[in-house]
Amino acid sequence: MQILDIILKINSMNLTNDDYFELKKVVSQFDISGEIFSIEKFGSGHINDTFRVSIKNANSSYLLQRINHHIFPNIEGLMHNIKLVTEHLKLVMRGTVSDVNKHTLTIIPCFDGKLYHQDSTGKYWRVFILLEDVKSYDIVETYQQAYSGGRAFGQFQKQLSTLDARKIVEVLPNFHNIDFRLNNLKKAIKKNKANRLDEVQDILAYIHSREDRMRTVLRMAESGELPLRITHNDTKFNNVLLDENDNVQCVIDLDTVMAGYVAYDFGDAIRTIINSAAEDEKDLSKVILNIPLFQAYTEGYLEEAVEFLTDKEIESLFFGVLLLPYMQAVRFLTDYIDGDLYYKIHYLEHNLVRTRAQIKLVQELEMNEALLLDILKNSLSIKK
Ligand code: GN1
Ligand code: MG
């Protein structure tokens, strides 16, 4: 090992030797100038692996990601979408913010011009500029944070409304289609690969009892009541970066930007904002609603979105709020029954714990339905 490598290795203590050498080689493929100072594990995503790459004496750092190509088989289409979306966002924002690159992701291509690199073992990699001085929250605490989240995704949908949806590749077909998700659950049950069916009977009964109601958004869509728009499709709150004053800075994680219905984005954001506990909280008594944050997000969202939403879309929003934690429970449970093939887990029963926490959230939402609908109605009358 050369001296420089030893220093870099010390700076990158949370990696194994093999990881460190692999990552260093990967970084050398990308159009980054300067000497690497450190490489560290970064973020909490369930699908891709993310690293922060710092450069000596440089102002900007980079985000290196290994893309999970078992989940995203169409890497070319995926990166095409992200390029299209980020370039469009920059164009729309120009003149409204001082530096567009602080408000959207920026892809760093490889030296050969490609948007990703495939290494000799077949793994896929990409690099973005890392945004500095920003915050993200797994659990939302204040009105201002939730309000900014609402504005962020409202703006995002509005800004993308001028991009031709036909140019976006559907990288994960049927992503938020509840029939597709329930069907996958049924297939998993039939195979019972990991022999875990006995312990989940109570959850299966609950899921089954709500199937019909949870098809509401899909039914509305299928009968032509809802317009297809370009949506984010992974609007968990930690995919919004806020600045030091908790104002919107940037929407991140653009892997699932595809055609979709606004109720899906609204519901997935509320799923993470209204929950006083983490997505994988073991103590279900902690999974309770923080209702003022629902109001805050709704107000922020409608402030941006009311000008383009149709009446039917507005009607669909609340069904999205019930649907997204339900669908997430179906997906976590399917993976648990399959033997944990999709989501990263940190312990054996992680997917089961996640499932139970999401089911508890649906139950809390159902119990507070009248109140939440009232808040939606009131926020709407103020914004209209
Ligand atoms: C996954 O990778 P991450 O953590 O951003 C998943 C989302 C789920 C989320 C649950 C491609 O997102 O759909 O809502 O976990 N992404 C994919 O936390 O399946
Ligand atoms: Mg994601």
Residue 111's domain is classified under what CATH number?
3.30.200.20
Question: pTM to 2 decimals?
Answer: 0.94
Q: How far apart are CA 230 and CA 168, in angstroms?
A: 8
Check whether residue 267 and residue 361 sit in a common domain. yes
Check whether residue 55 and residue 180 sit in a common domain. no
- Closest residue by Cα to atom 17, ligand 1, is 47
The atom of ligand 1 lying closest to the CA of 44 is 4
pLDDT for 189: 98
Check whether residue 301 and residue 261 sit in a common domain. yes
- Closest residue by Cα to atom 15, ligand 1, is 46
pLDDT for 145: 97
Beta carbons within 10 angstroms of residue 201's beta carbon = 9
pLDDT for 99: 94
Check whether residue 177 and residue 122 sit in a common domain. no
Q: 45 C-alpha to center of ligand 2: Å?
A: 7
Check whether residue 302 and residue 335 sit in a common domain. yes
Check whether residue 53 and residue 170 sit in a common domain. no
- Closest residue by Cα to atom 8, ligand 1, is 234
For residue 171, is it within any domain? yes
Host domain of residue 173: 143-383
Residues whose CB is less than 8 angstroms from the CB of residue 170 and which lie 6 or more positions away in sequence, other chains included: 258, 259
In eight-state DSSP terms, residue 52 is E
Check whether residue 88 and residue 114 sit in a common domain. yes
Q: How far apart are CA 216 and CA 234, in angstroms?
A: 20
b/e map 129-160, b = 16+ CB within 10 Å: bbbeeeebbebbeebebbbbbbbbbbbbbebb
Query: Are 36 and 8 a contacting pair, CB within 8 Å?
Result: yes
- Closest residue by Cα to atom 19, ligand 1, is 47
pLDDT for 181: 98
For residue 63, is it within any domain? yes
Q: How far apart are CA 129 and CA 241, in angstroms?
A: 14
SS3 label, residue 232: coil
Check whether residue 64 and residue 208 sit in a common domain. no
Check whether residue 116 and residue 160 sit in a common domain. no
Domain finish residue from 129, 157, 182: 129
Check whether residue 262 and residue 192 sit in a common domain. yes
| End-to-end C-alpha distance for the chain, whole angstroms | 65
Predicted confidence (pLDDT) per residue in 150-159, tens digit: 999 999 999 9
For residue 90, is it within any domain? yes
pLDDT for 17: 76
Predicted confidence (pLDDT) per residue in 44-61, tens digit: 899 999 999 999 988 889
pLDDT for 4: 57
| pLDDT tens for the chain, residues 1 to 384 | 566 566 565 566 677 877 888 999 999 999 999 999 999 999 889 999 999 999 998 888 999 999 999 999 999 999 999 999 999 999 999 999 999 999 999 999 999 999 999 999 999 999 999 999 999 999 899 999 999 999 999 999 999 999 999 999 999 999 999 999 999 999 999 999 999 999 999 999 999 999 999 999 999 999 999 999 999 999 999 999 999 999 999 999 999 999 999 999 999 999 999 999 999 999 999 999 999 999 999 999 999 999 999 999 999 999 999 999 999 999 999 999 999 999 999 999 999 999 999 999 999 999 999 999 999 999 988 876
Domain finish residue from 74, 101, 129: 129
For residue 138, is it within any domain? no
Q: 72 C-alpha to center of ligand 2: Å?
A: 11
Residue 295, amino acid = Q
Check whether residue 173 and residue 300 sit in a common domain. yes
Beta carbons within 10 angstroms of residue 17's beta carbon = 9
For residue 86, is it within any domain? yes
Tokens of 120: 């000799």
The CATH number assigned to the domain holding 235 equals 3.90.1200.10
For residue 51, is it within any domain? yes
Check whether residue 124 and residue 255 sit in a common domain. no
Pocket of ligand 1 (CB under 6 A): 45-47, 71, 234, 236, 253, 255-256, 279, 328
Q: 110 C-alpha to center of ligand 2: Å?
A: 23
pLDDT for 314: 97
For residue 136, is it within any domain? no
Domain finish residue from 77, 95, 129: 129
Give me the number of domains the chain comprises: 2
Q: 6 C-alpha to center of ligand 2: Å?
A: 34
Q: 251 C-alpha to center of ligand 2: Å?
A: 11
For residue 17, is it within any domain? yes
- Closest residue by Cα to atom 12, ligand 1, is 46
